[in-house]
């Protein structure tokens, strides 16, 4: 077997996939290889998301892939969805982020907590990529502890008036609709669908990022935004509602980061075969081999976690703390793989002509968002010991 095939599937997990899962993975992989990888470095440096990819991603069935067909989804398995995330993140974490937020956060929030008319109005249009969503939970002063949010949705005769600010919101300036989490008059967290053209709503792109540069990240300002009663996601109630959405997105991240790590290892494995130092290729050097094997070992562990999580998801037995442990460990392992890859590339490693520095800087975000390493450590600690140490 060639090096590239060995890297992709050292433990032959492919044999556990259905023909549909393999087909979806291969289709997205081809798309990313041809349309994304050659341009990713440039897009990342320019700090733009190539919006022309959105209809292409929709045509490939990426958005809401797990949702039922009546809502525009493909009814894909959890493993199939995970493989889509893996292949997108092989291209760039920012590409996977756009898809994660659209599918697992915005669409999932409507699917899980919305009324039937909200589902029929939003989900098919979002699956077609005609409408992009964002998910406003984090605030300038409430990130790890979203229960401390200050955004308020006060009841009026005809609906609600929402005031507050959200920060670090993926897709904020690309979106046509925002799922905004706010406390009602009783202090209970509820979800609202806010069209971005609503008077008083403003999104401002954050321009200073040295990570996730291909992803659009924004601040949202809501200055007395009036929304009708029909904007409320009626089944949302309490912090558990946004957290249920996060579990979906974290599941996707567990798979996604495998793609970034695979891309890093594949690139350096080819590089060391031809890069000569001290009269021989780096590949014939023990310390270099050890590093590559360490990277492979981390990737295999990441893949095993992702596959088993997918099986638990499909069996209906997945518990949020299991997702926490896998998100924590896969994001950190991918970051370590990317750092090793960058190092092995030497001076070339700091150029976006090669993938690892871009993946490495992106993965600093992935390690932080959707719950930091520490937050997930404490979530698992609480599960293990039944003691809350937050």
CA distances from 134 to 97, 137, 166, 180, 282 (A): 11, 10, 11, 8, 45
Decide: is 97 part of the binding site for ligand TGC (CB under 6 A). yes
Asked if 372 touches ligand FAD (CB under 6 A), the answer is yes
The answer to the question of residue 374 lying near ligand TGC (CB under 6 A) is no
Name which of ligand TGC, ligand FAD, none residue 246 binds, using a CB cut-off of 5 to 8 Å depending on partner kind.
ligand TGC
78 closest CA partner among 21, 12, 9, 31: 21
Q: Which of 322, 166, 136 is nearest to 242 (CA)?
A: 136
Minimum distance, C-beta of residue 105 to ligand TGC, in the bound complex (Å): 6
324 binds ligand FAD per the rule CB under 6 A: no
Q: Is 116 exposed, middle or buried (0-12, 13-18, 19+ CB in 10 A)?
A: exposed
With CB under 5 to 8 Å by kind, the binding choice for 374 among ligand FAD, ligand TGC, none is ligand FAD
Q: Any idea which residue has 């992106």 for tokens?
A: 362
Q: Which residues 6+ apart lie within 8 Å of 281 measured at CB? A: 272, 273, 274, 275
What is the number of the residue whose Cβ is closest to ligand FAD? 143
Which is closer to ligand FAD, CB of 163 or CB of 372? 372
Considering only the stretches 59-67, 78-86, 112-120, 365-373, report the one whose residues sit in contact with ligand FAD under the rule CB under 6 A: 365-373
181: region left, alpha or beta (phi > 0 left; psi from -120 to 50 alpha): beta
Given a contact cutoff of 8 angstroms between Cβ atoms, the answer to whether 139 and 108 are in contact is no
Q: Name the nearest CA neighbour of 179 among 137, 119, 125, 228.
A: 137
Is 49 a binding residue for ligand FAD by CB under 6 A? The answer is: no
By CB under 6 A, tell whether 168 contacts ligand FAD: yes
Task: Establish if 138 lies at the interface with ligand FAD (CB under 6 A).
Answer: yes
Q: Rule CB under 6 A: is residue 11 a binding residue for ligand FAD?
A: no
Query: At which residue do the structure tokens 């990737």 appear?
Result: 299
Catalytic-residue membership of 387: no
Rule CB under 6 A: which residues touch ligand FAD? 101, 135-138, 143-144, 168-170, 212, 217, 365, 368-372, 374-375, 390
Rule CB under 6 A: which residues touch ligand TGC? 97, 100-101, 135, 137-138, 144-147, 170, 238-240, 243-244, 246-247, 249, 320, 369-371, 375, 379, 390
* Active-site annotation, residues: 370
């Amino acid at each position: 077997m060639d090096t590239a095939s060995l890297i992709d599937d050292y433990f032959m997990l492919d044999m556990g996939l259905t023909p549909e899962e393999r087909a979806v993975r291969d289709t997205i992989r081809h798309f990313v290889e041809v349309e994304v990888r050659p341009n990713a470095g440039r897009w990342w440096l320019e700090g733009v998301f190539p919006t022309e990819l959105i209809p292409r991603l929709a045509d490939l069935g990426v958005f809401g892939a797990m949702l039922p067909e009546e809502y525009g989804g493909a009814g894909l398995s959890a493993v199939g969805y995970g493989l889509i995330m893996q292949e997108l993140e092989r291209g760039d974490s920012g590409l996977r982020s756009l898809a994660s937020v659209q599918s697992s956060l915005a669409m999932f929030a409507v699917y899980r907590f919305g009324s039937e008319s909200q589902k029929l109005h939003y989900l098919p249009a979002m699956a077609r990529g005609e409408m992009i969503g964002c998910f406003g939970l984090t605030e300038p002063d409430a990130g790890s502890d979203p229960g401390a949010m200050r955004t308020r949705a006060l009841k009026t005769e005809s609906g609600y008036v929402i005031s507050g600010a959200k920060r670090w919101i993926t897709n904020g300036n690309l979106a046509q609709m925002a799922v905004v989490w706010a406390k009602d008059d009783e202090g209970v967290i509820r979800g609202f669908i806010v069209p971005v053209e609503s008077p008083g709503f403003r999104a401002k792109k954050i321009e200073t990022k040295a990570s996730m540069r291909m992803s659009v990240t924004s601040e949202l300002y809501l200055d007395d935004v009036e929304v009708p009663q029909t904007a409320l996601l009626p089944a949302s109630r309490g912090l558990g509602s946004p957290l249920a959405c996060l579990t979906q997105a974290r599941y996707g991240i567990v798979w996604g980061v495998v793609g970034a790590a695979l891309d890093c290892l594949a690139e350096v494995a080819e590089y060391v075969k031809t890069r000569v130092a001290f009269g021989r290729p780096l590949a014939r050097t023990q310390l270099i081999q050890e590093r590559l094997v360490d990277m492979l070992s981390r990737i295999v562990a990441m893949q095993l976690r992702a596959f088993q999580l997918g099986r638990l998801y499909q069996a209906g037995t997945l518990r949020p703390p299991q997702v926490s442990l896998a998100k924590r460990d896969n994001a950190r392992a991918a970051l370590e793989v990317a750092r090793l890859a960058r190092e092995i590339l030497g001076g070339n490693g700091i150029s976006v002509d090669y993938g690892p520095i871009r993946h490495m800087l992106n993965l600093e975000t992935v390690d932080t968002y959707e719950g930091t390493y520490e937050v997930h450590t404490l979530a698992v600690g609480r599960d293990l010991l039944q003691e809350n140490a937050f």
